[in-house]
Chains A and B, each alone.
Chain A
Amino acid sequence: MTDRDVRAALREWIVRTSGRIGGEALRDDTPILEQRILTSLHVLELILFLERLTGRPIDVQRLRPGAFRDVDSICRLVAAGPAS
């Protein structure tokens, strides 16, 4: 799966799950937790979505501050692979 595919699927998932932002308003650097586009209750769903999308587990204990800041950050996390 290319970065472009991941990015498109992620954006679509965020817009559908959030219900608070349209696809045209969501930029790749829009801070999604800071603006509460996704709330804390969505974080586990997001992890499960990313695991399904990439077929790789995410080690929650190794996630660092800012890992889910925006679409760009999440794509970097996905690209970095399972060790991230």
Chain B
Amino acid sequence: MSHALSVPGVLPGHRWLPSGQSSLTGPLLDLYRRVDRMFVGWAAEWGAGDYLFPPFLSARDLAGVDYLRSFPHLATFPVALDPADENLLEFTRGDVPDARGRVRLTATTPVLDVLTPAACYHFYVAFRGEQLEGPRYVTTRATCFRRETHYAPLARQSSFSMREIVCLGTADEVKAFLEDGRSRVARALDAIGLGVAWETATDPFFRPRQNPKHLAQRLDPLKTEMMAGGLAIGSVNLHRSYFGEAFQIRRDGRDASSGCIAFGVERWLHAIVACFGPDPAGWPSLEAV
């Protein structure tokens, strides 16, 4: 199945931007909200606290998990001009933007942040140094940013919405959460009538053959994706104690384990439209699934 909805704008309420982003309104925005409400409903079954995070993550915070070395090809950075008056003046004297739409920057301030690449990083930063008294279940939806070699409407975007449900706890608590989570999602997919295949996957590391983390993920698979027509619309991820160790989060006398269930909201829209057609009248009810 193609990952590209062939004609941008053919969907009611969808507008595709050359920057690899979608704008939504009307029935498609309504579907977006219903899909996310469904995820929030599942998160509530674990009593997960809901969080809203800003779009920046500190590069220093991500250094603890070596994000920028593992995924430099995906990273996007917020950048600002050095505020010195002369620098700003020099900037305004140029073509901004030039005839090809490019902005030629003069001196910039130091880049200290990364635009959120995955929603759950915010939790480990927020809970740094905590001793957990019991398993902690949390959820958030974040706009995530990733540079890719190509983009396709709703399927592969430079910015997209990721909803995650995360558990931090002992290894057994996280294992139980991920097993329950996968069953919960599978039950809902059955009720909706959306067929998926569950497939083991690895993260998209930079130069994977040279990266020991990629090899380690192959030897000890930690990621299972829900594939709808060849498109991963979500994943179930076990981190073991990787984040607990990096952010000194402790549970029961050890580094906390963690795991997350992640959903690409726009990809769910893509899968629903691909499966049920572009007419909103044919889209499934997502209530009580």
Contacts and interface: CB of A to CB of B under 8 A. Distances in A.
Interface of A: 33-34, 36, 39-44, 60, 63-69
A43 B215 contact: yes
Given A36-B240, A36-B241, A36-B242, A68 B219 contact: yes
24 contacts: A34-B220, A36-B240, A36-B245, A40-B212, A40-B217, A41-B212, A41-B213, A43-B215, A43-B216, A43-B219, A44-B212, A44-B215, A60-B215, A63-B215, A63-B218, A63-B219, A64-B219, A65-B200, A65-B218, A65-B221, A66-B219, A66-B220, A67-B219, A68-B219
Interface of B: 171, 200, 212-213, 215-221, 240-242, 245, 255
A60 B219 CA distance: 10
Nearest to B70: A40
Contacts of B215: 40, 43-44, 60, 63
Contacts of B218: 63, 65
Given A36-B240, A36-B245, A65 B220 contact: yes
A44 B218 CA distance: 13
A41 B245 CA distance: 14
A33 B255 CA distance: 15
A43 B213 CA distance: 8
Q: Report which residue of B171, B212, B240 has the largest number of chain A beta carbons within 10 angstroms of its beta carbon.
A: B212
Contacts of B245: 36
